[in-house]
Structures are given as C-alpha cells and as structure tokens.
Amino acid sequence: MKYIIILGDGMADRPIQKLGNKTPLQIANIPNIDKLTKLGRTGMFQSVPLDMPPGSEVANLAVLGYDVHKVYEGRGVLEGASMGVEIAEGDLAMRCNLICIEDEKIKNHSAGHISTKESHILIDFLNEKLSNDYVKFHKGISFRHLLVVKNGNNDLQFTPPHDVPGTPFRDVMIKPTSKSGENTCNLLNDLILRSQDLLKDHPINMKRFAEGKDPANSVWFWSSGYKPSMKTLHEKFGISGAVISAVDIIKGLGIYAGMDVIEVVGATGLTDTNYEGKAEAAVEAIKTHDLVYLHVEATDEAGHAGDVELKIRALEYLDARVVKYVMEETSKMSEDISIAVLPDHATPCEVRTHTHDAVPFIIYNPKLEADEVSEYNEESCL
C-alpha cells in the first residue's frame, strides 16, 4: 500500500450567512472529491491541540503523525530548513513578514502579496542597514522571510499579523513572558520600528504606492523557535516520503521529516498556482515513494482575505485540477494507493484567521469498506 495526502490548506470553514448559512465546501462544485467520499471513510479530526496555536506548522506536523507537543518549535525553523539556512544550536529563528501598515494600523499581513523579486531587494536593503553578528535576515518567497537571532531567548509572546488586520500595530508588538526574554523582545521591537523608518521611502515602496499597491513598509516577527528534534518518517514508520508545496514552511517540515522536496514550476501558494503541475508531480512521485504529501495553499489565502467567492473557486480548482487527475491516474496503477483529502486547519472567511475547529477528512483505502457519507463538507463528515 502507498499513500497520497492531498492537503487543502485552511479549506474548512464555518456557516456563512450570505451562503444561506452553508460553508464554502457545501456550496462548491466538487464532484471528484464527493466521488472519493463515496468510496472512502470520513470523520472529523482535531488537528491542533486546544492548548497550542492553530497554525499550519502545528497542524501539518499532526497530519504527518508527529506528537506536536514534543517536536513543535515554531514555523521559523521549518521555513529556514526550506531556505537552506543552517540553524545553529541556541539560535532563535522566526518568521519575518513584510507587511503593510496604514494609519498606524496593520492593513494586511502580506504587503499586498508583494512579489518575490521586490521583497528580495527590500530584505537585502534591511540586511545592509540592520544586520550584524547577532541578527540576520534571510530571503524567502513573496512576503515570507526569516530572521535569525544568535543566542536569542524565546520567552516571548507574538501576535501573527494575519490574526489582527485593522489593529493598531503598537498594541500587538512583541511582549516578554519572563525577565529573561526582555532583551530579545526589546531587540525585535526596535528592529520593527527601525524597519518602518527605512522602508517608508524606499524606491520599491514609492513605486508600489504610485501603482496603487500596498507598500511593504514594516517587518513583523512571529512564531519563533530553536532547531527541532524530529525523527524522520522512515525512522517513525519505515516509509519514504515526498512533499510538494509552494510554501517554505511545508517544504521545511518535509526536510526535517526526511522527505524529498519536489519543486513544481509555477507553484505560487495562491489561486493562480500550477494545479496541474502539482498533480502530475504527485502521481510521478508515488511511483518511487511510499507517501506523497501534496499541499495546496490557495484556500488558506482566500480565507485570510475573507474572500468567500475566491475560496469557493479555489476549492473547485483543487477538485477539478488536482483530485480528478490523481484519482484517475492512481486507479491505473497495479499497486493499491490510499488517498486522503483534508485541510490542516480551518480558516473561516468571516474571522480571516486560523481556528481550532475540528476539520473534515476523507480516507479512501481500496481494502476497506466505505461508510455512508456521500458529500465532503464539515456537516456531512461530522
């Protein structure tokens, strides 16, 4: 038996009034996922413990079978692995977003989904002005980057920027959780304020502003941690794995899990991603691996944007352009393939952030009898 997990990031939701108190999954036209539901077994999965933050870094670790209380060290170190950044013992790594602040409030967490090319120029500029022997920025993709603080203290309370759009930024800056964390806290908050002075008149931002785009006029730090101690999937389960994703956090998780990272041209993490390329890569990878983890980010970004129509469209793309192909091609293979479809967590459009809601799942195993559920959504799986 081999296994494919198709992970629609954040695709679970809550009933929305303008959808007649239905969820996007209940409204979307997803005949292929529904067909898989008829063939498989369903349920609800509490992917994130209630005492932990409902982030993708926790949820995807759980989906892959890890005890998150033991191995979770924040998303920064996972993204660092994907970037090829060596995290030394005692170094504190954290996500560094480029965000947009307007009228002293956080407008969005992504600087209007700034391009990777533009963001790299800004991160190089910040390194030139702010880095030293103890602090360094590392370039990622779009708005997602990394900061490493040598011998930083992790007694810190962060607020993810996607949780607080419209909030005065000074109200949600970093706070120490002990006396030991005060120096690192002060260092990070100072970097945020200094970045705002440096970025406000940068030519990249002046050009974006002139074009009606949101400027990347501040950095924002969150989800810090040290190098995790994780067993590989081979050590845990005796299997080989491959991961396909557009985002660094999932690639980094795959690296620590001992999985091969498969790059797909045109994979963006948004609704314009190369769905077909990812599906084809998954089918090809299952020929040489025991487990393929196919991650699609677009539904999560639609949830963060509060864009119900975009989320429905992203669900329909996932169904028609990924699940259909994977089902058709794996059915031709001589070896049995088990397929799971699920989100890592919910990202309800009306709250625009991750929640602890249990998520619906399907597991199709050709050796097991199907249950009576015939549609894939939060209500039917419950």
pLDDT tens per residue, range 200-232: 999 999 999 999 999 999 999 999 999 888 899
pLDDT for 84 = 87
Q: What is the pLDDT of residues 15-26, one digit of tens each?
A: 999 999 999 999
Exposure of 358 in the CB half-sphere (CA atoms within 13 A): 11
Tokens at 282, concatenated: 């998954």
Kindly tell me if the per-residue pLDDT of 249 is higher than 90: no
Q: What is the pLDDT of residues 300-330, one digit of tens each?
A: 999 999 999 999 999 999 999 999 999 999 9
State the architecture of 2-72+230-381 in CATH terms.
Answer: 3-Layer(aba) Sandwich (3.40)
Average pLDDT over the chain, rounded to an integer = 96
For the chain, the domains span 2-72+230-381, 81-225
Please measure the distance between the N-terminal and C-terminal CA atoms of the chain and give it in whole angstroms. Answer: 27
With 0-12 CB in 10 A as exposed, 13-18 as middle and 19+ as buried, what is 270? middle
Q: Give dist(CA 290, CA 54) in Å, integer.
A: 28
pLDDT for 89 = 87
Nearest to 241 by CA among 178, 292, 284: 292
Is 84 strand, coil or helix? coil
Q: Give dist(CA 340, CA 362) in Å, integer.
A: 5
Average pLDDT over residues 48-57: 92
Residue ranges of E strands in the chain: 2-8, 41-45, 92-102, 105-108, 135-141, 144-149, 156-157, 175-176, 218-225, 241-244, 260-261, 291-296, 337-342, 359-364
Average pLDDT over residues 43-67: 94
Kindly tell me if the per-residue pLDDT of 73 is higher than 90: no
Q: What is the pLDDT of residues 128-187, one digit of tens each?
A: 999 999 999 999 889 999 999 999 999 999 999 988 999 999 999 999 999 999 999 999
Pick the more confident residue, 76 or 9: 9
Is 64 strand, coil or helix? coil
Q: What is the pLDDT of residues 355-366, one digit of tens each?
A: 999 999 999 999
pLDDT for 132 = 95
Average pLDDT over residues 241-252: 93
pLDDT for 163 = 87
Q: Say whether pTM exceeds 0.95.
A: no
pLDDT for 333 = 97
Q: How confident is the model at residue 77 (pLDDT cuts 50, 70, 90)?
A: confident
Q: How confident is the model at residue 109 (pLDDT cuts 50, 70, 90)?
A: very high
Average pLDDT over residues 276-288: 98
Instruction: Sort residue 21 into left (φ over 0), alpha (ψ -120 to 50) or beta.
Output: left
pLDDT for 53 = 87
Q: Give dist(CA 373, CA 352) in Å, integer.
A: 29
